[in-house]
Structure formats: structure tokens, C-alpha cells
Chains A and B, each alone.
Chain A
Amino acid sequence: MDDDELEQVITAEASNTGALSLDWQGWLRVNGSRLLLFARQQTRNGSDAEDVLQDALVKLAKKVAENTFVGGQEAWMPFLYTQIRREAIDRGRKDDRRRKREEKVVDDAKGLTTVEGDTWFLDSNASGEQTKLVEEALKELPAKFAEVIVMKIWGERTFDDIGKSLDISLHTAASRYRYGLEALRKKLAAARIRGDI
């Protein structure tokens, strides 16, 4: 079964959530990768990303099971993007406090604590070097630009959805997207000139 057919089956099953148990596995197969990408962009390393994503998914599952989720299945993704971001911010604050308490300099800068296999993009359509460069360029961008780019391009969210998730206006989301893309273009152009690509 290809992805389109799988998505149709999941949609048909999920629309009748009252009678059938939800096929979370099927739904995650379709949507999990883009959520994990966003979680990776929001956190400092791969394991934090997975934890943050798991916490957000558990909250969704709880709300759906208790029938307290406002909105239909189309509202799951906006909810999860918002929740992932919140969990990541909370985790970042806790880590900062713990680090200060331990008085230890932990160098968890981008890439240094990368878990093997913890790459943001698949290598299938491009060389491994290109995907790595795009990943590094996104990590170097200011977070407020990178998160909008990730949500827009790979999350396929609208600027309105992005604004609501990030608690900014639609226009601010669109501006950050344009500025972010411009900054990304310059970084990648510099890499081309260096011969990295």
C-alpha cells in the first residue's frame, strides 16, 4: 500500500473514532517524520527531540481518548506543533537550570551530541553532504526563522496555522519566512562558493 492509499485508509478509520480504536501507528507513519523534524529543530539533540515529541503525542492521545480535544483530526497537527514547541521550551529551561546547578560546562552545541542516525533529512534525493549542509544551515539560523521555515516547507502549515502555534500574527510569520529563506539562501550560497556543495 503506498502512502496515499495508507493516508486514505487512516483518514477513513480516524473519522469514525467513536466506533474504532485509533490507528496511531498508521497515522504516525504518515505524519511522524515531519513532527520529529520540528522537534529536532526545537531541541538540542535527538533524544530530547524524541522525548518532547512523545510528551506532545501523549497529550494528544489523552485528549482524544477523553473526548476533550477541540476540533477534528485536522486540528491534531496544529495542536502538536504548538505542544512540541511548549515542551521544548520547558525542557530548555530545565536543562539550563540544571546546568547552572551542576556548574558544569556542557558543550551540547549543534552537532556535537548528535546521536548516530540522528540526521534531519533523508539522503535519498540528494547527496549526504547536501542534506548535512541544509541541516547545519537551519541550525545556524535564528530559531524564530528556522521554526517558521520548518513548519512551512516540511510541515506544510499555512501562515495562519504557524501564527497561531507560535503566537504571532500571520504577517509576522510570513515576514520571518521570507527573511529566514533569504538568510538560508546566503548561507547555502556561501557553501557553494566554498565548494562544499
Chain B
Amino acid sequence: MDSDLQELENELREFAPSPMSGEVLSRMVRAMERWEENADGVDEAAEIGKIVDFPSEKKSRSSWKPMWGAAAAVAILGASLGFLVPPKLSENVVTASSVEAVPVLRQASLVPVNVQRKISSVNTGQVADKDGLEYQVIQVIRREEADFRGDDNVGLKITRPKVDNYLVPVSY
């Protein structure tokens, strides 16, 4: 900054801002001491600026969409099998997979009666990376279960398990 501006700066510093009058000072102090009465209800977040909250995880119907979609697919599949499998063979139908036989339903009359999400965690031990840092392995098991009921009180449970492993540093 050149000397002229420096000189102006020094001259301006000589001007003292007018002080608050006694009345104004008292009013300000009263307002500050009674902030509860004076603070308006404006959302602080809107005042401060662009503070966007993390979206809260709300349980809504849309969060169950995948399960309902799976349930609908099973219902349609069940209905299709009911139409496709000859009647005399339906009683002897056995699934080829290793899971327990699923009852074949002739009609698409499955109605979802309950949907649950169960979460559990298991500490499965410790591991170390190549640098020797140790981690606790936490296995989180999410199990989504949907119960269906059809005519004649026939039930069907659909389970969708999901396993995630989390590595938590032991020390840091």
C-alpha cells in the first residue's frame, strides 16, 4: 500500500466511532439478558446459512418396496405354477434344490401379513493388515422376513439375509 493510502489509513483511525448512548446501551443489555423473550422462532439453520441436515432415516412404505416387490414376484410365480403344473402331479411336486419344499399354491391368493427386519451383530475376531494394524471384525446380519398367508391358512415365509463385515480399528 502506498504512503498516501497509509497516511489516509492513519488519519481515519483518529476518528472514533460514536459511542452508544446510555439509553441505547441499556436497551441492548436488556434485550440480551431477556434473550428468551426477544429471540424469534426463526429456524436457526435458516439464519445461519445453508446447513442441510443429513436426511433422517424414516421408515416409510417406500423403504419396504424391495420386500413388497419380492413378495409380489413370489405371488405371481406361485400363481403361475398353479396354472402350469398338472393337477395330478401337484401333490408330488418336490423342489430340486436343497431347501425345504415350498408348498405350491394354485391361486395367487397370498396376502402379506407381516414384514420384519432383524439386525444382529457378531464379533468374529480380529485381523491385522500388512502394516500390523489390528481390526475387530464385526459381522452384521440383516434378515428381512415377510410372512404371507393364503387361502386355507397356508403360510409362506420369505427370508432375505444379508451379511456385512465391518472392520473397526482396535486402536488409533
Contacts and interface: CB of A to CB of B under 8 A. Distances in A.
B31 A57 contact: yes
Contacts of B24: 36, 50
Interface residues of B, number: 28
A164 to B, nearest CB: 12
Q: Is the interface of A mostly helix, strand, loop or mixed?
A: helix
Contact of B18 (A37, A62, A184): A37
A7 to B, nearest CB: 15
Contacts of B18: 33, 36-37, 119-122
A24 B17 contact: no
Given A32-B20, A33-B16, A120-B18, A58 B4 contact: no
Interface in A53-89: 53-54, 57-62, 65, 86
Interface residues of A, number: 40
A58 B47 CA distance: 13
Interface of B: 1, 4-5, 8-9, 12-21, 24-25, 27-29, 31-33, 35-36, 38-39, 47
Interface of A: 24-25, 28-29, 32-34, 36-37, 50, 53-54, 57-62, 65, 86, 117, 119-122, 124-126, 130-131, 134, 149, 153-154, 178, 181-182, 184-185, 188
27 contacts: A24-B32, A32-B19, A32-B20, A32-B25, A32-B28, A33-B19, A33-B20, A36-B17, A36-B20, A37-B18, A50-B27, A53-B28, A54-B28, A57-B31, A58-B31, A60-B32, A86-B47, A121-B16, A121-B18, A122-B15, A122-B18, A124-B16, A154-B13, A178-B1, A178-B5, A182-B5, A185-B5
